[in-house]
Structure formats: C-alpha cells, structure tokens
A and B are shown apart, each in its own frame.
Chain A
C-alpha cells in the first residue's frame, strides 16, 4: 500500500531518501491537490465577480471545492463550510465572532491540552470582554481529564472549545463526553480538528459539535487555506469577523448590512487556488480504505512506541497505549534538548520537530520544557520508523 501511495506524492519523487515524520506540522501534498491548484492558478480569475467564462469557471470550481469539503465532513449543506486561511484563522473567527455574543462572566471551557491557536484567542477575549476561562486538566498520560467536565461545565458555560486530537500527545478527545456536558447546560462545542483530519474523513453530524476547524496543509492539501464548519443556524447568529468586499449585503455612507454565511466570513478575495487544491485532496481522501489505513498506522505506531521504550533516557509525553490515539508521538530525552535531537536526526534525513509545539500549558502540566515529536501519516513505512529509532540511538551517542 505504501509504495502505491508514495507514487501519488511528488515529494517522494524528489526526496526519496527523506524519512518525513513531521506530518503533524505539515503533511506532503497529494498530486491531485497540487495539479488542481496549479491548474487554477495557471489561468485564473477572481470568484463571485464577473460573468466572463474564466471567472465563471473559477466561481464554479471554488463552489465545487466547498461541496467536496462538505461531503468530507458530512455537513448538512455547503453553506456550513467557510474557507479561511487555516485552522488558526478558523479558531480566531469563532473566538471573535462567537465572542461578540458573550458578556462578562460568561464561561468558556478549554483544556490544558490546547494548541496556542485555541488558547491565546480566548485569553485575549477574556481580557477584552471579561469572560471566564475554565480549564480541563490533563492526566499524567496527557489525556484530557473529561471526568472533570462535571464540575467545570456550569450553567454559565457558553462554549467548550477543545482539541479533537492533541498535536503533542496524539490523544483523541472523548468528544461524546464533551458534547453531552455542553448540551446539559445549553453550551456550544468547538472542535479543533487540525490533527484529526489527516487520518480520515470526519463526520460532524455524528460528533454533535457546533463548530469544527481544520487546515488544508495537514490533510494533503496546499498551505494557506483552511475550513471552519459551523451549523447553519449557529453561523447565521454570528457577526462578521474580517470586513471588506464580498461579505456585505449593501454599504452606504452610514452603514452596512452583511451577507449570509459562508460569504459573511470570507471577506476579500479568498484563497481560490488553495481551496480548489483542498477540494481535490479531500476528494482523494474519500476514496481511501480508511479502516485498513488505521490498522496500518496503528502497526507503525506500535513499532515506534516499542522502539522508544527501549531507551532508558526517553520519557514518553502522552499515552503509551494505542487506544483512542493517533500516530503522533512526543518524548523527552534526559539531559538533551529536543532541538539537538532533531538536528542530529535531520542530518540523517529523518524529519522531526522539537520544542514546545505551541502547547506550552500542556508541556508545563506534564512537567516538560520541550519535547521531540515524530508524527506518522499514511505514506510512512517501517523503514521510516526504523530510521528514526536508529537515528535516535545515534543522536544519543553524538550528544551525550
């Protein structure tokens, strides 16, 4: 399976020797996504503007991409899909626009496992609007302690904004418990799906959330585009985020009215080529045998975790089991900084990431100042895992 898949990624034609294990930061782009984006950008026009054929074709392709994303998410309608510049922009959009509906004393529940993208916007809203943040702690294995939902989600809670899967630990959140806790008090749920989408289509209807955010570059599409999905009724209640062309109903010298979603949230010229590339990427993903891929990824993850367990100096930052877990593995090496580990492995063409992974509250909660991360995608193989483990052994010798 891996070889056939690799042939579909231009990366492997150019960098066959690279063991790319930084997929949680950016996945490689699929050939269909690249071709779709290049095709659009090679003979482009703006969307929603002009009646000439090129512009009509761009508008049609942009709309088709929205429909593909809607199918990928099992959304009720295309109007629930907002194109943004990425998950960070999507999360900021909710923090700003949903935040406009909150008042001082209202509560938003986050977890200690959030990426800064789903943490800092809420900190800023707290300063701006006087809302209260309540933080779900993590267990020693990095999993979010959903048992604390009962006492942290109160009648004043308006939103639970939480990661679907941690970008550090790989732990998948018990979304059903989160949604049940929110519904019990009439609160809404925002899921940060940035890590989850790389591992298969998402069913937002089954999840029961109100908002879902993700980035294209983490699911084999181009950089520079992402998605905010929101229930139609929810999006309709929200004021705009960015203002400009394309998001208005009418504008006079005195006032402006605003378009219906999704246009209300897509001010200015959207990332047309990237969105079309994303559409091609998720279209391709929907053709894949995901049950088989999940078994394959779990096999690689088990090999990686078993290999790491052999090193006495290594401390895993995250669950050691395979239950409710994606193949994202972070760890510390006693006495050695993660950037030094990454540097030495990088010299051996093993691509990793090191540092706080934009999750400083999580690392602090787990007693870590920084971690090295290996993250697997469907095109990785056993040779990648073995190169990583052999490289780590080498790095320990170089740096000790």
Chain B
C-alpha cells in the first residue's frame, strides 16, 4: 500500500513510540496543542550539565506528530539545548524548502515527504517546539 507521506520509515517511527511515558522528576516539562487539528503533546526532560539524559512524552496526535515525538525520544538524549534549537531550525528549513539537510541532521530526512504539505508542518514541528519549551525552563 503506497502513500507519498506515510512511508515505511515514518510509520515505523510512530509505531515504535520511542520515549513514551512521562518522567517522575523532570527538570523541564511542557504541554503543547496544535489548535488546528487537536494534536497534543506533554513532554518531560532530564538534564545533566545542560545535556539531555532522558526525554519522555505522552503524544495524542496524528501519525506524523507521533513519529516526530518518537524520533525525539530516540535521538535527543546526549544533545544540549543549542543542538536541539539548531535541529529544529534545520527541520523547519527542510519542511519549508525540502533542501538537503546538513549531515548532522540526516535523521530528519524521514520527514522530507511532508514538505509539500504546509498544513501538516505543524504536526511534525509540535514535538520539537515542546522539547525546546521544556529545555527553556531549567
């Protein structure tokens, strides 16, 4: 069964739901809604010396949003606030233009098919915005 957007890699990410759940004693937490579609994510993060040691989220959302949250659960540990901010900028650029990604952010390539659908950009970006917001708190 083919789909332009719902390619196997995105579906597998969403299915895996990396980092699902919430941390009991987070250093930062956020809850964001996408008012256009009702997607909602609650996200918690733990830090050690400015570096993410754990991130957990509860995501009630579409498949694209769940895939993005899962990618964060898989790849955010070990990164710091500055790197997450840069990654978010790279994702926004990818969605806006479908330009090639810098090598450091190749993991985002999975979302390239979404670039042609502006109404869905917010779905992919919501978990990243939630992570940035949680990181801004400590």
Contact = CB atoms under 8 A, between A and B. Distances in A.
Interface of A: 336-340, 343-344, 347, 354-356, 360, 369-370, 394, 397-399
Contacts of B137: none
Given A339-B37, A347-B4, 13 more contacts: A336-B63, A337-B37, A337-B61, A339-B62, A347-B5, A354-B37, A355-B37, A360-B38, A370-B37, A397-B1, A398-B6, A399-B6, A399-B63
B105 to A, nearest CB: 24
A355 B36 contact: yes
A337 B62 contact: yes
Interface string B85-121: 0000000000000000000000000000000010010
B6 A340 contact: yes
B127 to A, nearest CB: 14
B1 A398 contact: yes
Nearest to B36: A355
B38 A356 contact: yes
Contacts of B61: 337
How many interface residues does chain B have, given as a range?
10 to 19
Interface of B: 1-6, 11, 36-39, 60-64, 117, 120, 123
B62 A340 contact: yes
Nearest to B66: A337
B37 A344 contact: no
A262 to B, nearest CB: 33
Nearest to B37: A355
Contacts of B38: 355-356, 360, 369-370
Contacts of A338: 37, 62
Contacts of B123: 339
A122 B81 CA distance: 42
Contacts of B62: 337-340
A397 B123 CA distance: 22
A26 to B, nearest CB: 14
7 smallest A-B Cβ distances: which pairs? A337-B62, A355-B37, A339-B62, A398-B1, A397-B1, A370-B38, A340-B63
A394 B61 CA distance: 21
B64 to A, nearest CB: 8
Contact of B3 (A337, A347, A355): A347
Contacts of A398: 1-3, 6
A356 B33 CA distance: 13
A274 B112 CA distance: 39
A340 B4 CA distance: 12
Contacts of B3: 343-344, 347, 398
